[in-house]
Amino acid sequence: MVPEKNDKLILLTNDDGLYAAGLRTLLEVMEEFGKVVLISTMESMSGMSQALTVKTPLRVKLLEENEKHRIYACNGTPTDSVKLAVNQLLERYPDWVVAGINHGANASVSVLYSGTMAAAIEGCLYGITSVGFSLNNFSPTADFSVCKKYIRIIMKKLATRPLPTGVCLNVNIPAAEQNEIKGIKICRQSKGNWKEEFEKRKDPMGKTYYWLTGFFQNHEPDANDTDEWALTNNYVSVVPVTVDMTAHWFLGELEEKFKK
CA distances from 84 to 23, 31, 59, 132 (A): 19, 21, 10, 18
Question: What is the amino acid identity at position 144?
Answer: F
Taking the C-alpha atoms of residue 35 and residue 69, their distance in angstroms, rounded to an integer, is: 6
For residues 125 and 10, give the distance between their C-alpha atoms in angstroms, rounded to a whole number: 16
Specify the pLDDT at position 5: 54
The angle, 0 to 180 degrees and rounded to 10, between the axes of the packed helices 148-160 and 21-30 is: 40
Is the residue at 256 inside a domain? no
Intra-chain end-to-end CA distance of the chain, in Å: 62
Q: Is 205 exposed, middle or buried (0-12, 13-18, 19+ CB in 10 A)?
A: exposed
Q: pLDDT 10s digit of each residue in the chain, 260 long?
A: 344 456 899 999 998 889 999 999 999 999 999 999 999 988 877 777 778 888 899 999 999 999 999 999 999 999 999 999 999 999 999 999 999 899 999 988 888 989 999 999 999 999 999 999 999 998 878 899 999 999 999 999 999 999 999 999 999 999 999 999 999 999 998 877 767 778 888 889 889 988 877 766 776 888 889 999 999 999 999 999 999 999 999 999 999 989 87
Domain that holds residue 44: 8-190+222-244
Residue 205 counted as domain residue: no
- Is 249 a domain residue? no
Q: How far is CA 185 from the centre of its chain?
A: 18
Domain assignment of residue 164, yes or no: yes
CATH number at residue 167: 3.40.1210.10
Q: How deeply is 250 buried, as exposed, middle or buried, from its count of CB atoms within 10 A (0-12, 13-18, 19+)?
A: exposed
DSSP-assigned beta bridge partners for residue 74: 60
Structural domain contains residue 200: no
When divided into structural domains, the chain yields a total of 1
C-alpha closest to that of 41 among 80, 10, 70, 93: 80
In a domain, 250, yes or no: no
Tell me if 70 is assigned to some domain.
yes
Per residue, the 3-state secondary structure of the chain, as one string, reads CCCCCCCEEEEEECCCCCCCHHHHHHHHHHCCCEEEEEEECCCCCCCCCCCCCCCCCCCEEEEEECCCEEEEEECCCHHHHHHHHHHHHCCCCCCEEEEEEEECCCCHHHHHCCHHHHHHHHHHHCCCEEEEEEECCCCCCCCHHHHHHHHHHHHHHHHHCCCCCCEEEEEEECCCCHHHCCCEEECECCCEEEEEEEEEEECCCCCEEEEEEEEEEECCCCCCCEHHHHHHCCCEEEEEEECCCCCHHHHHHHHHHHHC
Give a yes or no: residue 147 inside a domain: yes
